[in-house]
Chains A and B, each alone.
Chain A
Amino acid sequence: MNRKYELVYVVSPDATDAQVADLHTQVEQITQRLGGSIEKTDNWGRRKLAYEIGPHKEGTYVLETIDGGGELMKEIDRRLKVSDLIIRHLVVRIDEEQAVIDRTRTTRTDNARRRRVARGLPPDRQPGEGQRNEMEEDDRFDMGEVER
């Protein structure tokens, strides 16, 4: 049940700041009613659209990270579809992808550390070793170096 979603919606440029804030509170109310919570809100402000949508050339982008279930997102999706002020919106589930990203990141750092230790170096990069040591972090070449 506990899933993480990302919601981005584009509000029409005609909308006032108060209206944008109002939309946010609407989303918040729905999430609270259906047992979810908003983790983060980020207003990107007014941006130029990559293509014209109807009469609009600009839009206000708002990003919300929401913790909750599928039913909740369905309801939000439905409400945003109906709203006149919103010209585009997108709901994406992010928890699974984030988990994969975190896993690859940790395995990579772990592997790098293990290789460094195997070569008799301290596990973390020392401040002096910048840039020029590209080869040693390169996965494809490190295996050979360890065995040598």
Chain B
Amino acid sequence: MNGRKGTGARGKAGAHGAQTGKDGQRRPMFRRRKVCKFCADKIDDINYKDTKLLMPFVPERAKILPRRISGTCAMHQRKLRTAIMRARQLALIPYTAE
């Protein structure tokens, strides 16, 4: 686990530069590589009935969390989207909040 995350972050965010840290414009922080939750946990079935699974992907405003933030892979984001839209139809998940 640790090993995998470490290599990923080095490749992406330039962790060495960040660690020396004093040359101003560099990325300020060590960025952890995002991993698709559904791939990592091997969740095959993204079901609209499973609100517990979907809720973390519809924060506060109840908008669908974009891929660039959640790190979900394209395939699972697509499945997630249909699941969320179905759950919304049945009032299991809100369309908006306030």
Contact = CB atoms under 8 A, between A and B. Distances in A.
Interface of A: 8, 10, 47, 49-51, 53, 59, 61, 63, 88, 90, 92, 97, 101, 104-105, 108, 134-135, 138, 141
Given A134-B1, A141-B4, A51 B91 contact: yes
Could you tell me the dominant secondary structure of chain A's interface residues? strand
Contacts of B92: 47, 50
Contacts of B73: none
B45 interface: yes
A105 B91 contact: no
Chain B, interface size: which category?
A: 10 to 19
Contact of A90 (B4, B44, B45, B89): B89
Interface of B: 1, 3-4, 42, 44-45, 48-49, 86, 88-96
- With a 10 A CB-CB cut-off, give which of A8, A10, A141 has the most chain B CB atoms: A8
A51 B45 contact: no
A53 B96 CA distance: 13
Nearest 5 A/B pairs, CB to CB = A49-B91, A50-B94, A101-B44, A50-B91, A51-B94
Nearest to A88: B90
B49 A10 contact: no
A23 to B, nearest CB: 16
Given A63-B49, A141-B4, A92 B91 contact: no
B88 A50 contact: yes
B86 to A, nearest CB: 6
Contacts of A138: 4
A137 B34 CA distance: 19
- With a 10 A CB-CB cut-off, give which of B1, B89, B90 has the most chain A CB atoms: B90
B95 A51 contact: yes
B4 A8 contact: no
15 contacts: A8-B49, A8-B90, A49-B91, A50-B88, A50-B91, A50-B93, A53-B91, A88-B89, A92-B48, A92-B86, A101-B44, A104-B44, A134-B1, A135-B4, A141-B4
